[in-house]
Amino acid sequence: MSDLRAPLRPKRKKDIVDFLVHFRWILVIFVVLPISFTVYFLTYVGDVKSAMKSEKKRQKEHEENVKKVVNRLKQRNPTKDGLVCTARKPYIAVGMRNVDYKRARHFEVDLAAFRNILEIDKERMVAKVEPLVNMGQITRATVPMNLALAVVAELDDLTVGGLINGYGIEGSSHIYGLFSDTVVALEVVLSDGRVVRATKDNEYSDLFYAIPWSQGTLGLLVSAEIKLIPVKEYMKLTYKPAARGNLKELAQVYADSFAPRDGDQSKVPDFVEAMIYNPTEGVFMTGVYASKEEAKTKGNVINNQGWWFKPWFYQHAQKALKKGEFVEYIPTREYYHRHTRCLYWEGKLILPFADQWWFRWLLGWIMPPKVSLLKATQGDAIRNYYHDRHVIQDLLIPLYKVGDALEFVHQEMENGQVEYEHHHILGITQGINPCIAECFKLFCTSFTALFYAYTQAFYMMYIHQEIEIKASFGTTFFLLLKAAF
């Protein structure tokens, strides 16, 4: 690490954009939050109306919408219209990355109608959903049935299509893998208008394995069948603080959270998560599903984390550093979405006082702001400011490198004059790769970074780029793909 000891860049002088960013909270409170709440409410009403329809009617509407997509693609002239792209606006995506390729799109296909849960099959333990169904919508439908997706990404707004075409991860991924690893079948419209159902063992198995991480470049996803698992009403969460000499030792504590030393598989937790608040201290959380009867046993503590006035989850977990190890029960759905209201640490970056008790009681119910509206209202100056100075990056590494990665990023952020940083770690073991691998998210607030680590069979985060398609599949495949699209 000796090459990282010298500062990576000189301290930057502040300019007018810094002023705009600093007081951006005014626009967020008086414009973004009210509009976000209205959008959330209208979306919820739409979800309720959809749920009231019969499965047969929802499936019929789905088939009609698929036909519209097919007809739209048949109108395309490959020699004149160029590449196919969804009509979804670039700012709607949940993420800070500037999807500039959509600013130069050529042939748009509207998929806005594809946001219905088509079927919850309790016998097959599969949920069939359209790509714009989000995590909040599906947990609202499944958790009351004591069912859930095997991997539920924490933020409500994350969609099934985004988690498949990109990737998704959670604290249960050490058991089930990435979100795409829980997919049973994919319904895809190809560029020539054909509608195919791809599974791991049918004639479209190559497409089934290629769609994840493809960023929507191989076809238009119109529905997915995803594995369900039985769950209980509560999550029994154990908070274990740890003080160690360095980040590598904290990484080892994290690794030890996944499996007991005695090898007893019955002790493997359903969820594993860790937050490292400074180079020597962290809180490591393990969760196990628990019944309502167990949670309400006398002496047990129930934390309704979903209430608007509750402390933000990462700050609540931090209490363990002073309080010591403790156990509490959180309603399962509220646990799934524990980071939604505060957008992890991003909420404090946008609204510096939003974590204060008075704000949580007065306006916590209107949180969080929609990421899409934050992006839509930021303007080019602030957009470029975040593009240059705010890093949200995915980093994929094996477990044995987590300690090195934490030290590397900490050193880099320190040299970059970051005010303070937090590390949020989620884990994956088994799944695609036989060697144990873990995922960690690293959040450094104040124009900082988000990192993930995961050992995969291949890495195709931005497959829409020509060089990466060629590297992953070869030039011949790229030329065929280019001809098709």
Task: Report d(CA 432, CA 412) in Å as an integer.
Answer: 31
Contacts of 190 (CB under 8 A, 6+ apart): 196, 219, 484
Supply the mean pLDDT for the chain: 80
Residues 260, 359, single domain; the answer is yes
The pLDDT, as a whole number, for residue 101 is 59
Average pLDDT of span 62-74: 94
**Three-state secondary structure call for residue 285:** strand
Least confident stretch, 47-51, 114-118, 446-450: 446-450
The pLDDT, as a whole number, for residue 226 is 97
Percent of the chain with pLDDT over 70: 77
The pLDDT, as a whole number, for residue 481 is 47
Residues 184, 92, single domain; the answer is yes
The pLDDT, as a whole number, for residue 482 is 52
432 pLDDT band, cuts 50/70/90, is very low
The pLDDT, as a whole number, for residue 305 is 95
pLDDT tens-digit readout, 343-376? 888 888 889 999 999 999 999 999 999 988 888 8
Is 268 within the bounds of a domain? Answer: yes
**Three-state secondary structure call for residue 183:** strand
307 pLDDT band, cuts 50/70/90, is very high
Residues 127, 247, single domain; the answer is no
Residues 280, 188, single domain; the answer is no
Least confident stretch, 27-31, 101-105, 464-468: 464-468
The pLDDT, as a whole number, for residue 113 is 92
pLDDT at 459 > cutoff 80 = no
Residues 118, 192, single domain; the answer is yes
**Three-state secondary structure call for residue 286:** strand
pLDDT at 485 > cutoff 50 = no
| CATH number where 167 lies | 3.30.465.10
The pLDDT, as a whole number, for residue 423 is 52
Residues 369, 437, single domain; the answer is yes
* Closest C-alpha among 106, 81, 109, 69 to residue 194: 69
pLDDT at 453 > cutoff 70 = no
Task: Report the amino acid identity of residue 216.
Answer: G
**Helix, strand, coil shares of the chain as percentages rounded to 5?**
40, 20, 40
Is 317 within the bounds of a domain? Answer: yes
Is 5 within the bounds of a domain? Answer: no
Is 26 within the bounds of a domain? Answer: no
Q: Say which residue, 399 or 268, is predicted with more confidence.
A: 268
What residue numbers bound the domain in which 84 lies?
Answer: 56-231+472-484
Residues 299, 311, single domain; the answer is yes
Q: Say which residue, 286 or 278, is predicted with more confidence.
A: 286
Is 23 within the bounds of a domain? Answer: no
pLDDT at 289 > cutoff 50 = yes
Total domain count, the chain: 2
Is 38 within the bounds of a domain? Answer: no
* Closest C-alpha among 209, 195, 204, 247 to residue 402: 247
| Token pair in block for residue 420 | 């303070």
The pLDDT, as a whole number, for residue 228 is 97
Output the CA torsion sign for 216, 217, 221, 225.
negative
Residues 72, 197, single domain; the answer is yes
Residues 331, 208, single domain; the answer is no
Residues 360, 214, single domain; the answer is no
Residues 354, 212, single domain; the answer is no
Is 454 within the bounds of a domain? Answer: no
pLDDT tens-digit readout, 311-339? 999 999 999 999 999 999 999 999 999 99
E-strand stretches of 383-465? 422-426, 439-443
pLDDT at 394 > cutoff 70 = no
The pLDDT, as a whole number, for residue 192 is 85
Residues 313, 432, single domain; the answer is yes
- Looking at mean pLDDT, say which of 95-99, 179-183, 190-194, 480-484 comes out highest: 179-183
- Looking at mean pLDDT, say which of 379-383, 423-427, 429-433, 437-441 comes out highest: 379-383
pLDDT tens-digit readout, 216-257? 888 999 999 999 999 999 999 999 999 988 889 998 898 888
Is 151 within the bounds of a domain? Answer: yes
The pLDDT, as a whole number, for residue 97 is 60
Task: Report d(CA 181, CA 7) in Å as an integer.
Answer: 41
